[in-house]
Amino acid sequence: RSSAEKFEFQAEVSRLMDILINSLYSNKDIFLRELISNASDALDKIRFLSLTDKEVLGEGDTAKLEIQIKLDKEKKILSIRDRGVGMSKEDLIKNLGTIAKSGTSAFVEKMQSGGDLNLIGQFGVGFYSVYLVADYVEVISKHNDDKQYVWESKADGAFAISEDTWNEPLGRGTEIRLHLRDEAKEYLEEDKLKDLVKKYSEFINFPIYLWSTKEVDVEVPADEEETTPETTEEEETEDGEEKKPKTKTIKETTSEWELLNDVKAVWLRSSKEVTDEEYSKFYHTLAKDFSDDKPMAWSHFTAEGDVEFKALLFVPPKAPHDLYESYYNNNKSNLKLYVRRVFISDEFDDLLPKYLSFLKGIVDSDTLPLNVSREMLQQHSSLKTIKKKLIRKALDMIRKLAEEDPDEYSNKDKTDEEKGEMEEKKGQYAKFWNEFGKSIKLGIIEDATNRNRLAKLLRFESTKSDGKLASLDEYISRMRPGQKDIFYITGSSKEQLEKSPFLERLTKKNYEVIFFTDPVDEYLMQYLMDYEDKKFQNVSKEGLKLGKDSKLKDLKESFKELTDWWKKALETENVDSVKISNRLHNTPCVVVTSKYGWSANMEKIMQAQTL
Ligand code: ADP
Ligand code: MG
């Protein structure tokens, strides 16, 4: 069209589209759920706006919050339409092409190293999956504040936008038209689409309709001349009084909107009624995580009292690609907040603390007011109570992951039979720990109130853990008679630490020493001072006490001349003191850091950061 304005895709977006359009990826189905998920997001947005201003919904069909799918088999067009918030001209330009989201390049990188296309939605670029099946896409959109526009692109590096003067007015919302490629003909089959909606979009909170064609039997007056016996019926009434006129049945095709999902809010149902498979499917829709893995755990509960709410929390099967990358500048929890079944926001800071931001879930409260702005809601006093309860439940859910795992120390006294029942949960806590252990450590640092609960969830390797993960409770159970402190050592790897002279005497005397090898551990140990009345002692630091040693005092006396000489020889600024110690066995001497100073490992970490 001559009136169309042309735009170039932002470079990363263009690369992404190239990858998609040339992809040999076999599971092209994913585009449909990405479009439905976008439609659902847009519907959530307009419903939210309508809380404070009913007018925005419009009248008649425009006010219907639904999604419609339609096929044109001849023209090979699949269209998906919603009556959501729509996009203004500016939105179209920004959202569909010129502003690359942070996930774009991350996703492109993932794809180039053979990553799974299935995860596209989590990177915030799901829309572009349309190019897996289409070579030409039109997006027609009408936003309340603007005219109706058409965005179109053949994925050739550019897109065009024109004011829409030829299509039927949408009222409000968006229609995506996919001109399907020959290889994607299967998406013109109604049954295929029904299956896909059932499989991936069952838990979408708005009705999804398909314009479906049916062959129906219709009775029509029989043609007198025609005497085909199968289609001619003669009926007599019981009394045999009157003969009905001759009719015949013919096949006729009719089309109507067929509802494909039954809109059910899983979280409002009783947890006893919801099957594991339903929880799993709901998780996939909620988290836009369509990997084959089930969530590791979930917690579905109702909170009663001053603040009433229902919530459903999930531990994802894997940590998202940017969990710790964006940790310090991201305050968003991954919870969706609903008030009386109306979606309010998934960008509420402070529904969960940062360290639990890896959880996905929803919270639906009857106590919060509906018709106030997001900002006002954000300050509502009930949120504090909700947050507190959510943290408790979340930590309980994680603790259960350990309690149900036969590999865990806490289950060592279980009978074989009990262990047999737990078999399928074998290793689940170690898996959790590998994905999210760092979050628990960050929690210990940040959340003083729950520090002890979180410390219970901590796992580590030690001189006695035999390549497995141990807990603090397990450590305590193995403490030597008379041992008062919990010993640990920090460094960059277990292999390096195992050779440390600091361990010589401790291992000789059969003391267990924890290996902390993650940089975050140094920070962690500045906050974790004690556990179950036992203090933590870094064995490379001053203050290590290994029980009473009566000879030590005499030794100190007799070597005083030597230690004084050393102290002088090393110059005072460099060492605090030179001492006789009983911490070594083979090594003649060792440099120890002071009790309140940084450990040598911490010095290294800090140096690495300032470089
Ligand atoms: P995401 O949904 O993760 O934001 P997408 O690539 O799926 O990423 O979509 C990009 C953006 O395009 C959306 O954030 C939204 O602003 C806009 N968009 C896509 N589809 C629609 C729609 N049906 N209605 C309104 N806006 C839409
Ligand atoms: Mg999307």
pLDDT of 308 reads: 93
User: Half-sphere exposure of residue 389, counting CA atoms within 13 Å on the CB side?
Assistant: 21
Q: How far is the CA of 346 from the centre of ligand 2 (A)?
A: 14
Q: Please give the Cα distance from 267 to 343 (Å, whole number).
A: 13
For 277, residues 6+ apart whose C-beta sits below 8 A from its C-beta are: none
Q: Are 521 and 495 in contact (CB under 8 A)?
A: no
Q: Please give the Cα distance from 262 to 197 (Å, whole number).
A: 11
Nearest to 187 by CA among 82, 78, 80, 260: 78
Pocket of ligand 1 contains residue 126 by CB under 6 Å: yes
User: What letter does residue 576 receive in the DSSP assignment?
Assistant: S
Pocket of ligand 1 contains residue 174 by CB under 6 Å: yes
Pocket of ligand 1 contains residue 42 by CB under 6 Å: yes
Mean pLDDT computed over 361-389? 87
pLDDT of 610 reads: 61
Pocket of ligand 1 contains residue 97 by CB under 6 Å: no
Mean pLDDT computed over 255-275? 90
Q: How far is the CA of 131 from the centre of ligand 1 (A)?
A: 15
Task: Report which secondary-structure segment, H or E, holds 396.
Answer: helix 382-403
User: For the segment 77-99, what is each residue's pLDDT rounded down to a tens digit?
Assistant: 999 999 999 999 999 999 999 98
Q: Among 27-41, 273-287, 344-358, which is the least confidently predicted range?
A: 344-358
Q: Is the pLDDT of residue 140 over 70?
A: yes
Residue 322's pLDDT band (cuts 50, 70, 90): confident
User: For the segment 489-510, what is each residue's pLDDT rounded down to a tens digit?
Assistant: 999 999 999 999 889 889 988 9
Q: Is the pLDDT of residue 38 over 60?
A: yes
571 annotated to a ligand binding site: no
Q: Which two tokens stand for residue 402?
A: 């350990």
Q: Among 441-455, 516-530, 537-551, which is the least confidently predicted range?
A: 537-551
Question: What ligand 1 atom has the least distance to the C-alpha of 45?
Answer: 25
Nearest to 436 by CA among 327, 490, 355: 355
**Cα-based angle 47, 50, 52 (whole degrees, multiple of 5):** 135
348 annotated to a ligand binding site: no
95 annotated to a ligand binding site: yes
pLDDT of 437 reads: 96
pLDDT of 89 reads: 97
| ipTM surpassing 0.90 | yes
Q: Is the pLDDT of residue 600 over 60?
A: yes
pLDDT of 330 reads: 64
Q: In this structure, how many other beta carbons lie within 10 angstroms of the beta carbon of residue 603?
A: 13
Q: Which two tokens stand for residue 219?
A: 């009775």
Residue with structure tokens 């531990």? Answer: 315
Q: How far is the CA of 95 from the centre of ligand 1 (A)?
A: 7
Q: Please give the Cα distance from 500 to 460 (Å, whole number).
A: 18
Task: Report which secondary-structure segment, H or E, holds 390.
Answer: helix 382-403
pLDDT of 196 reads: 93
pLDDT of 229 reads: 54
Radius of gyration of the chain (CA): 33
Q: Is the pLDDT of residue 548 over 80?
A: no
Residue 332's pLDDT band (cuts 50, 70, 90): low
pLDDT of 606 reads: 77
Strand bridging mode 208-221 / 148-153: unpaired
Question: What ligand 1 atom has the least distance to the C-alpha of 85?
Answer: 25
Q: Are 538 and 599 in contact (CB under 8 A)?
A: yes
pLDDT of 547 reads: 66
Q: What is the mean pLDDT of the chain?
A: 89
State which of 13, 38, 131 you would mutate to test the pocket of ligand 1, scoring each by most atoms of that ligand within 8 A of its C-beta: 38
Question: What ligand 1 atom has the least distance to the C-alpha of 37?
Answer: 2
Question: What ligand 1 atom has the least distance to the C-alpha of 288?
Answer: 3
User: What letter does residue 171 receive in the DSSP assignment?
Assistant: S
Where does 432-539 show beta strands of DSSP type E? 461-462, 485-490, 513-516, 530-531, 534-538
Residue 235's pLDDT band (cuts 50, 70, 90): low
Mean pLDDT computed over 546-552? 72
User: For the segment 393-424, what is each residue's pLDDT rounded down to a tens digit?
Assistant: 999 999 999 999 989 988 888 888 888 888 88
State phi, psi for 258 to the nearest 5 degrees: -110, 130
Question: What ligand 1 atom has the least distance to the C-alpha of 103?
Answer: 3
Higher-scoring residue by pLDDT: 379, 42 = 42
pLDDT of 414 reads: 85
Q: How far is the CA of 123 from the centre of ligand 2 (A)?
A: 9
| DSSP H helix total and E strand total for the chain | 18, 20
Residue nearest to atom 1 of ligand 1 (CA): 124
Q: Is the pLDDT of residue 331 over 70?
A: no
pLDDT of 604 reads: 79
Pocket of ligand 1 contains residue 82 by CB under 6 Å: yes
Q: How far is the CA of 95 from the centre of ligand 2 (A)?
A: 11
pLDDT of 232 reads: 47
173 annotated to a ligand binding site: no
Q: How far is the CA of 101 from the centre of ligand 1 (A)?
A: 11
User: For the segment 182-211, what is each residue's pLDDT rounded down to a tens digit?
Assistant: 999 999 999 999 999 988 888 899 999 999
Q: Are 312 and 347 in contact (CB under 8 A)?
A: no
Q: Among 31-45, 339-353, 562-576, which is the least confidently predicted range?
A: 562-576
Q: Among 45-54, 186-195, 215-224, 544-553, which is the least confidently predicted range?
A: 544-553
State which of 127, 174, 285, 346 you would mutate to test the pocket of ligand 1, scoring each by most atoms of that ligand within 8 A of its C-beta: 127
Strand bridging mode 158-163 / 5-8: antiparallel
Q: Please give the Cα distance from 139 to 470 (Å, whole number).
A: 55
Mean pLDDT computed over 556-582? 82
What is the percent of the chain with per-residue pLDDT over 90, rounded to a whole number?
Answer: 57
Q: Are 108 and 15 in contact (CB under 8 A)?
A: yes
**Cα separation values, 229 from 232, 233, 246, Å:** 5, 8, 11
Q: Please give the Cα distance from 553 to 581 (Å, whole number).
A: 10
Residue nearest to atom 4 of ligand 1 (CA): 124
Q: Could you write out the three-class secondary structure of 56-117?
A: HHCCHHHHCCCEEEEEECCCCEEEEEECCCCCCHHHHHHHHHHCCCHHHHHHHHHHHCCCCH
Residue with structure tokens 């078999």? Answer: 423
pLDDT of 118 reads: 86
User: For the segment 288-320, what is each residue's pLDDT rounded down to a tens digit?
Assistant: 888 889 999 999 999 998 899 999 999 999 988
State phi, psi for 72 to the nearest 5 degrees: -125, 100
Q: Which two tokens stand for residue 14?
A: 């263009």
Question: What is the SS3 assignment for 402?
Answer: helix
Q: Is the pLDDT of residue 583 over 60?
A: yes
Higher-scoring residue by pLDDT: 462, 412 = 462
Which ligand sits nearest to residue 125's alpha carbon? 1
DSSP assignment of 269-294: S-TTTS-HHHHHHHHHHHHT--SSPP
Q: How far is the CA of 103 from the centre of ligand 1 (A)?
A: 14
